[in-house]
Amino acid sequence: MAVAAVEPLLTRLTGDEKHAPSAHSTLDVLWVLYDRVLDVSPDRLDDPDRDRFLLSKGHGPAAYYAVLAAKGFIPEAWLDDLAGAGSPLGHHPDRLRVPGVEISSGSLGHGLGLAIGTVLGLRAQGLTKPRVFVLLGDAELDEGSNHEAIAYAGASYLDCITAVVVDNQSASYAWPHGLASAFTVHGWTAETVDGRDHEAIHRALTGAHPGRPHAVVARVERKGS
Amino acid sequence: MRQAFIDTTLKLLDEDPRAVAVLAEISAEPLGKAFADHPERAFNVGIREQLMIGVAGGLALTGMRPIAHSYATFLIDRAYEQIKLDLGHQGAGAILVSVGASYDGSTAGYTHMSPMDVALLDTLPGWQVHVPGHPDEVVRLLRAAMAHDEKIYIRLSTKENSRAYVDGAVVKPGSGRTVVAVGPMLDPVLEATSGLDFHVVYTNTPRPLRVVDGAILVEPYLEGTSAHLGRFDSIGVKRVDLHRYGSPKDHARWHGLDPESLRARLLAI
């Protein structure tokens, strides 16, 4: 499987040889995004026409860093000193330190708002090509700021925004009508897929959803299982 | 001042393709022309102040120059973490413009007051603060803020001086102690020092602060907000929730900021 390219990098980053890459809930979604979906590249970091990927769920960025290294955005050597005094890589990513990182995140519930502003800013400049992807966690949706953003994006028909929620069932309170309902009730389209199935993730991320923002709920193993 | 802000914002949207207005209902009606003329650069996100600042941050990341606006208490107090992270930490700038300075919204009660806005911004690196004392100053300050990408806070008030001044103007030269009046505190200070030998200086840009040591600073927000920036005395709004309504004039008196109280306090220092 393609993620094999990332495995040694993850091990190098975490020093953890016990756990399979599946211990990283976001790994497969990130790989599909960077390998097959996003129009980004290390030599076009400031290209206004690039796609934007915003990691809202800044926690546990090991898979993110490993994918960025695999795709040549950052040197592999950076993986050896995670969160060290001189390291650009910390336990939450910093856009001013890491090439290719679009937003600094960590505090939950900031990515969607920044994504909406990004979409509006691109549109205002006539940049209609770039798509904007935001990755969130299921528990992150507890934060009210997300719901401000979800409601506004739906009401404003911001169709070039795609939210990916990696659902490892870590929220204490489940959504009574399913996680996707948090989006669809506000006029988004939504799909729920197996967060380990690359073909399903790819289809959901690239399917047409004209006139509506789109949410992809990628279900993975329950956190801690 | 609010009208000057609205008029200037409309003009800036006409003139500058980088200008974007982001509102959270407040002033959406008087700025209605912006939504009609520039639907790609004027947004009302609803009563969602966290989102307003997040959107401003995202806009700035694409190279736009956002103007976000609401009551100070919703713009600054409520959205503090968004200001810290969605603007500052991203390396993004914006122009934040507030109304409802300190107790301007006195009849609405404490829920609509933010005498602590400048103190809150002082906890964050790099914010420049303008406290205009006259509508003409609003125009100048807002236009100047459009020309770059820095983090700018413009604090509008319903209280204004009888005329505009430039920042740093010596309004009343004297050989006595220097009194620095911030924004709309100038006219009360002039009245309070009438017939007394004080050297009265005006500033509408308290951040970065240029106050000489030994002066008395009269500021229209929380007393002591600027005390960490030098060795001078401070007069300002008391740190108290009065649980009272009344007019801004009443509150000025209760906080010791009416000319009569000011005179007594200046003489007592």
Q: Where are the domains of chain A?
A: 28-60+95-219
User: Mean per-residue pLDDT for B1-21?
Assistant: 98
Task: Report CB contact under 8 Å: B58, A119.
Answer: yes
Q: Residue B196 is part of a domain; what is its CATH number?
A: 3.40.50.920
CA distance linking residue B162 with residue A169, whole number of Å: 61
Q: Clarify whether residues B131 and B175 are in a common domain.
A: no
Overall number of domains in chain B: 2
pLDDT at A4: 85
Of A66, A82, A58, A8, nearest to A34 by C-alpha is A66
CA neighbours closer than 13 Å in the CB half-sphere of residue B7: 9
pLDDT category, A225, cuts 50, 70, 90? Answer: low
State the pTM of this model.
0.97
The DSSP call for residue B9 is H
CA A176-A137-A35 angle, to 5 degrees, is: 130
Task: Report CB contact under 8 Å: A114, B86.
Answer: yes
Q: Clarify whether residues B121 and B217 are in a common domain.
A: no
Q: Clarify whether residues B178 and B138 are in a common domain.
A: no
pLDDT at A208: 78
Q: Clarify whether residues B60 and B92 are in a common domain.
A: yes
Residue pair B97/B154 in contact by the 8 Å Cβ criterion: yes
Residue B213 lies inside a defined structural domain of this protein: yes
pLDDT at A3: 81
- Host domain of residue B250: 170-268
A198 touches chain B (CB under 8 A): no
Residue B42 has which token pair? 């004027």
Cα B72 to Cα A30, A34, B101, distances in angstroms:
40, 41, 6
Angle between helices A62-70 and A7-14 (to 10 degrees): 130
Q: Clarify whether residues B115 and B85 are in a common domain.
A: yes
Q: Clarify whether residues B141 and B48 are in a common domain.
A: yes
Tell me the per-residue pLDDT of A74-89, one tens digit each, with 9 for 90 and over: 999 999 999 999 999 9
The answer to whether domain A28-60+95-219 has CATH 3.90.1150.10 is no
Q: Which residues contact B239 (CB under 8 A, 6 or more apart)?
A: B222, B223
Residue B165 lies inside a defined structural domain of this protein: no
Residue B161 lies inside a defined structural domain of this protein: no
Cα B233 to Cα A34, B184, B206, B221, B227, distances in angstroms:
58, 18, 15, 14, 8
Give the count of Cβ contacts less than 8 A between chain A and B: 104
The DSSP call for residue B102 is B
β pairing state of B170-172 and B199-203? antiparallel
Region of B23 (left: φ > 0; alpha: ψ -120 to 50; beta: rest) is beta
User: Mean per-residue pLDDT for A97-124?
Assistant: 98
Provide the mean pLDDT of chain B. Answer: 97
CB atoms near residue B59 (< 10 Å): 30
Residue pair A165/A174 in contact by the 8 Å Cβ criterion: no
Q: Which residues of A touch B50 (CB under 8 A)?
A: 109, 113, 144-145, 148
pLDDT category, B256, cuts 50, 70, 90? Answer: very high
Q: Tell me which chain A residue has its CA closest to the CA of residue B88.
A: A104
ipTM of model:
0.96
CA distance linking residue B16 with residue B38, whole number of Å: 11
pLDDT category, B212, cuts 50, 70, 90? Answer: confident
Provide the mean pLDDT of chain A. Answer: 94
Tell me the per-residue pLDDT of B83-112, one tens digit each, with 9 for 90 and over: 999 999 999 999 999 999 999 999 999 999
Has residue A182 got a pLDDT over 80? yes
> Which position has the higher pLDDT, A162 or A23?
A162
Q: Tell me which chain B residue has its CA closest to the CA of residue A49.
A: B62
Tell me the per-residue pLDDT of B182-200, one tens digit each, with 9 for 90 and over: 999 999 999 999 999 999 9
Residue B160 lies inside a defined structural domain of this protein: no
Q: Which residues of B touch A95 (CB under 8 A)?
A: 90-91
Q: Clarify whether residues B103 and B80 are in a common domain.
A: yes
pLDDT category, A20, cuts 50, 70, 90? Answer: low
Q: Residue B14 is part of a domain; what is its CATH number?
A: 3.40.50.970
Has residue A148 got a pLDDT over 70? yes
Last residue of a domain, one of B101, B132, B155: B155
